[in-house]
Amino acid sequence: MRERLTAAREIAVDLESHSYRSYRGFVCLMQVSTREEDYLVDTLELRGALHSLNDVFTDPRVTKVLHGCDSDVLWLQRDFGLYLVGVFDTGQAARVLEFPSFSLAHLLKSYCGVTANKTYQMADWRLRPLTAEMITYAREDTHYLLYIYDQLKSELEACQRSAAVWQRSAELCRQAYHTVPYSPSDHLTLLRRQNASTLTAPQLAVHRALFGWRDGLARSEDESCAYVLPNHILLKLAQAVPRTAEQLRLLCHPLPPLLNYHTPSLLETIAAAADGTAAAAPDAAATAAAPSAAPPRAQYPQPPQPLPSAPAMPSGGSGGYGGGAG
């Protein structure tokens, strides 16, 4: 695959990630399409080998077409040490052209007559082997993207707005991944999002303490904060200030798995905050070039053919699936 990507003039790239059962999240699947083929790369199986794609991903002679690459740029750096140069972001192109919607679904419908299937948008991409339906969904994200790129590029050149898209895409690629340190004051931002402005001083102290307790536990267990203690339960506990395990279980039924295991620590945190004896929550430990515009390329005469049914991806072996794609 790497040799074929190196020889390509343009490639389309997308990622599927998982974040619910991980503190920082991780990429589970990479989709890459050339003009001739679609590839699904099992990034769980091949995580230690994907740095070899840096030659292609940082080559300005190979245009990388992505849609809404804000997160993809950071995830590639975080998980694989991969960087992007020479990116054309179709989402930024839609903004520059002032389309009524900037979504990939809108572009698929407008240019290819394809209705995007959102069934697997929140699927668990850790699962192996992938089902045939998940493979088809994943392939669609990049299968049509080079054709859409051709059409957008033509419209941008017609109105002399191409440079703006390349510049915006380059700015996204200049992002650098860094871990976000814990900040106790972030609990106030969460309260504002929940429109919870009527907490008393003790309730506010409990909310702040639980916010820090949750972050520390999530980091140590490598779980997301939403899995450890969902935001709505965090607010409910701050409002009710339970003092016993029985009160806690009456408030939260069913009790999230980690809360059940760490009930004593949770109740101690609540009591200390409510009684004004909680120490300030310590900060949790934190660890933590512009693309060149590509010259005009050959364009598709018509949209790619709709995807055929795809076989299930092997659970091992090469860790990738390559299929002809229009």
In the predicted model, what is the mean pLDDT of residues 159-182? 96
pLDDT of residue 326: 37
pLDDT of residue 312: 42
Q: What's the angle, vertex CA 13, arms to CA 77 and CA 86, rounded to 5?
A: 70
In the predicted model, what is the mean pLDDT of residues 310-314? 40
Q: What value does the mean pLDDT of the chain take?
A: 88
Residues 242/251, Cβ–Cβ less than 8 Å = yes
In the predicted model, what is the mean pLDDT of residues 134-148? 96
**Is it true that domain 2-178+288-324 has CATH number 3.30.420.10?**
yes
Q: How far is CA 146 from CA 7, 42, 302, in A?
A: 16, 22, 11
pLDDT of residue 307: 66
pLDDT of residue 117: 86
Q: If 0-12 CB within 10 Å is exposed, 13-18 middle and 19+ buried, where does residue 257 land? A: exposed
pLDDT > 90 fraction of the chain, expressed in percent and rounded: 79
In the predicted model, what is the mean pLDDT of residues 1-27? 96
Residue extents of the structural domains in the chain: 2-178+288-324, 186-274
Compute the distance between CA of residue 41 and CA of residue 268 in angstroms, rounded to an integer: 46
For residue 237, is pLDDT > 60? yes
pLDDT of residue 121: 86
For residue 26, is pLDDT > 70? yes
pLDDT band at 296 (very low <50, low <70, confident <90, very high): very low
Query: Nearest-CA neighbor of 176 among 314, 67, 84, 280?
Result: 84
In the predicted model, what is the mean pLDDT of residues 177-190? 92
pLDDT digits over 62-92, tens only?
999 999 999 999 999 999 999 999 999 999 9
In the predicted model, what is the mean pLDDT of residues 31-51? 97
For residue 245, is pLDDT > 70? yes
For residue 311, is pLDDT > 60? no
**Is it true that domain 186-274 has CATH number 1.20.1050.140?**
no
* Predicted TM-score (pTM) of this structure: 0.81
The encoded tokens of residue 265 equal 């620590």
